[in-house]
Chain A
Amino acid sequence: SQWGEENLQALSIQEGEDVTMNCSYKTYTTVVHWYRQDSGRGPALIILIRSNEREKRSGRLRATLDTSSQSSSLSITAAQCEDTAVYFCATDEGTNAYKVIFGKGTHLHVLP
Chain B
Amino acid sequence: DPKIIQKPKYLVAVTGSEKILICEQYLGHNAMYWYRQSAKKPLEFMFSYSYQKLMDNQTASSRFQPQSSKKNHLDLQITALKPDDSATYFCASSQEWVANSDYTFGSGTRLLVI
Contact = CB atoms under 8 A, between A and B. Distances in A.
Contacts of A88: 42-43
B25 interface: no
A53 B105 CA distance: 24
A104 interface: yes
B106 to A, nearest CB: 5
A33 B104 CA distance: 11
A98 B100 CA distance: 8
A43 B99 contact: no
Size category of the B interface is 20 to 34
A96 to B, nearest CB: 8
Contacts of A41: 107-108
Contacts of A93: 99
Nearest to B4: A42
Given A43-B90, A88-B43, A100 B99 contact: yes
Interface in A89-108: 90-93, 96-105
A105 B107 contact: no
A19 interface: no
Interface residues of A, number: 27
Contacts of A103: 42
A105 B42 contact: yes
Given A41-B108, A48-B102, A100-B45, 4 more contacts: A31-B99, A31-B100, A45-B102, A96-B56
Interface of A: 30-31, 33, 35, 40-45, 48, 50, 88, 90-93, 96-105
Across the A-B interface, the 10 shortest Cβ-Cβ residue pairs: A92-B99, A42-B105, A31-B100, A102-B43, A104-B42, A43-B105, A42-B107, A102-B42, A42-B90, A100-B99
